[in-house]
């Protein structure tokens, strides 16, 4: 048996613009995305009878085609024309339906992990194409660097160096349906990528000025607690705060990890919330 554990990072959206809706139902987006060091652990074991099994202690996963991690393993084995048993165990730390891309990151990590374990000769570009079949965020996690994402989120360009900051993530254990948020978004008219202000960030002040999320107009209306958390972070010294993705996770921008940790300590009485100081990766 061949076995190895890989880490799957969360992501935050530093900005998220929804430019319009395509005929196929997908939305035209422009986003700045950053991975952070809140990780799921993905243990992959190869060997035995062909077949894919995914377990996640404490979480009921959908079977078969509905399970994005199973789909990732199936797509990679088909691409490599390999038959082997694959057993995947996920230790979740990233909340589900939280705007942090946990499922997409897990799927990307399975694609990368199986490529390594099976010693498959495949380009990163091809892996991103395969990842795009699973979900719009999956290619970003294969890209492995801060990115400006356009199209449905799969067209990626590396961002220049971002200022040194730390973030404090807060998730109040509210699960938010991404599809539900997009369906409720009122688009006044189709926007154009060329009309957007360029995501040009040099200083921490630049970063905070660029924070923007069109989806807040829907999620904050449904869950006013999210707006309260944004203000709570500012009250604790955050330079700026924003909801990530479709929510419900909110992050605050801090000068360094120690400042983020101090704010986390002040908020530690919220026992049922995820409160996690993190660094960019």
Kindly name the residue from 11, 40, 106, 214 that is annotated as catalytic.
Answer: 11
Q: What does 114-178 look like in DSSP terms, one character per residue?
A: HHHHTT----HHHHHHHHHTT-TTHHHHHH-S-EEEEETTTEEEEPPPPPP-EEEEEE-S----H
Kindly tell me the sign of the dihedral angle through the C-alpha atoms of 29, 34, 39, 42: positive
Residue 11 among the catalytic residues: yes
What count of other Cβ atoms lies within 10 Å of the Cβ of residue 186?
A: 6
Residue 37 among the catalytic residues: no
Burial 50-63, CB ≥16 within 10 A → b, else e: eebebebeeeeeee
Q: Give the single-character DSSP code of 270.
A: -
Kindly name the residue from 4, 91, 125, 137 that is annotated as catalytic.
Answer: 137
Burial class (CB in 10 A: 0-12, 13-18, 19+), 272: exposed
Rounded CA-CA distance 238/164 in Å is 14
From 170, 177, 185, select the one nearest 217 (Cα to Cα).
185
Which residues 6+ apart lie within 8 Å of 24 measured at CB?
Answer: none
Rounded CA-CA distance 196/94 in Å is 31
Rounded CA-CA distance 263/204 in Å is 18
Which residues 6+ apart lie within 8 Å of 224 measured at CB?
Answer: none
Question: Which residues participate in catalysis according to the annotation?
Answer: 11, 137
């Amino acid at each position: 048996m061949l076995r190895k554990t890989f880490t799957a990072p969360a992501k935050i959206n530093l900005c998220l613009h929804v430019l319009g809706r395509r005929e196929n139902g997908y939305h035209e987006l422009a986003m700045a995305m950053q991975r952070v060091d809140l990780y799921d652990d993905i243990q992959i074991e190869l060997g035995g009878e062909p077949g894919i099994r995914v377990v996640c202690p404490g979480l009921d996963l959908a079977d078969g085609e509905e399970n994005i991690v199973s789909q990732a393993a199936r797509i990679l084995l088909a691409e490599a024309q390999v038959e082997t048993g694959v057993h995947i165990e996920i230790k979740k730390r990233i909340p589900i339906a939280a705007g942090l891309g946990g499922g997409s990151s897990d799927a990307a990590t399975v694609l990368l992990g199986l490529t390594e374990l099976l010693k498959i000769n495949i380009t990163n570009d091809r892996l991103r194409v395969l990842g795009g079949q699973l979900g719009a965020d999956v290619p970003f996690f294969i890209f492995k660097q801060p990115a400006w994402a356009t199209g449905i989120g799969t067209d990626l360009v590396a961002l220049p160096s971002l200022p040194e900051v730390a973030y404090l993530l807060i998730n109040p254990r509210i699960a938010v349906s991404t599809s539900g948020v997009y369906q409720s978004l009122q688009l006044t008219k189709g926007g154009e990528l060329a009309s957007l202000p360029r995501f040009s960030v040099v200083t921490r002040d630049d970063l905070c000025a660029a924070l923007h999320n069109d989806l807040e107009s829907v999620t904050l209306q449904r869950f006013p607690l999210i707006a309260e958390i944004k203000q709570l972070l500012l009250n604790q010294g955050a330079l700026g705060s924003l909801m990530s993705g479709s929510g419900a996770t909110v992050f605050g921008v801090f000068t360094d990890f120690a400042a983020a940790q101090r704010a986390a300590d002040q908020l530690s009485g919220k026992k049922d919330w995820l409160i996690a100081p993190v660094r960019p990766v």
